[in-house]
């Protein structure tokens, strides 16, 4: 029994006429009659009786009609789901991201992706950048967002957003009311630095490079602070100053002020990384959205 035999039979049952069924199937009636006889011979029973009122189903025919419709529906559904998975319309995507990516970079990407691909299940995991890389290699996540610089020949890495750096100072600081400052003005201040994770210098390297370009090495009182909100909290508590991405302003921490830097050209770059080789369709759909967005936050 082939699927086409079931489709022929269902059409005959719905039209209650071999002539009308043949016309609907765009075929001549004799071949259709032959296919029906072949199906009846295979099943060993009569499915359709020809009467003056047309083609009427027998009791076995009514049973087959119900089952044939179910089978054809499931086959059509399987074909549709297969096409959708192949085109990246449905599936599952595991994404790792550093917490600060949720300040500005990640939300608009997620909104657009969910709007265009509502049937894709997103599994989001907040983690350290070195954990993102480890889980990419172990195939436990499909893609990850973290700060550049970073290099790994086994991974594709692409910058997806850039943002200016700002100086975070306590609200009571002597510079807090200024509209703009130079980084060199806080050369003697105690500094709070973000964490460096293994071979991933990330934001730590960007901040240290900016200080060195301004003519000083930061006097560190607190290093290896992972979370941006923790850095801002320490600044608000008067522990020191820090250089952070501009999107950190959105945390709106009382007791901290954020000042644009006139002498700093370095920018915090958020990148997406994924494994080399052929990307699964769902990941390809996600990358299309991520990489076509403006690189500026």
Architecture (CATH level 2) of domain 91-159+270-293: 3-Layer(aba) Sandwich (3.40)
Q: Do the first three CATH levels of 3-85 and 160-268 match, i.e. the same topology?
A: no
CATH classification code of 160-268: 3.40.190.290
pLDDT tens by residue, the chain, 297 residues: 788 888 888 998 888 888 888 899 899 999 989 988 898 898 899 989 888 778 888 888 889 889 888 988 888 777 766 665 665 556 788 999 999 998 889 999 999 999 988 888 889 999 999 999 999 999 999 999 999 988 899 999 999 999 999 999 999 999 999 999 999 999 999 999 998 887 888 889 999 999 999 999 999 998 888 888 899 999 999 999 999 999 998 877 889 999 999 989 889 999 999 998 766 788 988 998 988 764 444
Is the four-CA dihedral 287, 288, 294, 297 of positive or negative sign?
A: negative
Which of 103, 112, 14 lies closest to 66 in space, CA to CA?
14
Angular region, 161: left φ>0, alpha ψ -120 to 50, beta rest:
beta
CATH 3.40.640.10 fits 3-85, yes or no: no
Distance in Å from the first CA to the final CA of the chain: 60
Domains of the chain, residue spans: 3-85, 91-159+270-293, 160-268
Q: What is the pTM of this model?
A: 0.68
**What are the backbone dihedrals phi and psi of residue 125, each rounded to the nearest 5 degrees, phi first?**
-135, 120
Is the CB of residue 143 less than 8 Å from the CB of residue 273? yes
| Distance, CA of 250 to chain centre | 23
């Amino acid at each position: 029994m082939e699927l086409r035999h079931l489709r022929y039979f269902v059409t005959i049952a719905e039209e209650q006429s071999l002539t009308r069924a043949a016309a609907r199937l765009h075929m001549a009636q004799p071949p259709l009659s032959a296919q029906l006889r072949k199906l009846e011979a295979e099943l060993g029973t009569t499915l359709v009786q020809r009467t003056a009122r047309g083609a009427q189903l027998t009791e076995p025919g009514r049973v087959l009609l119900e089952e044939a419709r179910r089978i054809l529906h499931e086959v059509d559904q399987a074909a549709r789901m297969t096409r959708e998975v192949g085109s990246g319309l449905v599936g599952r995507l595991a994404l790792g991201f550093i917490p600060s990516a949720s300040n500005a970079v990640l939300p608009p990407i997620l909104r657009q992706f969910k709007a265009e691909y509502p049937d894709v299940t997103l599994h989001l995991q907040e983690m350290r950048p070195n954990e993102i890389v480890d889980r990419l290699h172990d195939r436990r996540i499909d893609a990850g967002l973290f700060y550049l610089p970073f290099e790994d020949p086994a991974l594709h890495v692409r910058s997806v957003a850039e943002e200016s750096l700002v100086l975070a100072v306590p609200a009571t600081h002597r510079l807090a009311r200024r509209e703009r400052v130079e980084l060199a003005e806080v050369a003697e201040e105690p500094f709070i630095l973000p964490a460096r994770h293994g071979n991933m210098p990330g934001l730590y390297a960007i901040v240290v490079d900016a200080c060195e370009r301004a003519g000083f090495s930061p006097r560190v009182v607190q290093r290896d602070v992972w979370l941006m909100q923790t850095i801002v909290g320490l600044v608000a508590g008067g522990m020191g100053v820090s250089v952070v991405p501009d999107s950190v302003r959105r945390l709106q921490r009382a007791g901290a002020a954020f000042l644009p830097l006139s002498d700093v050209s370095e920018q915090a770059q958020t990148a997406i990384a994924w494994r080399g080789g052929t990307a699964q369709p769902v990941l390809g759909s996600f990358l299309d959205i991520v990489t076509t967005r403006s690189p500026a936050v």
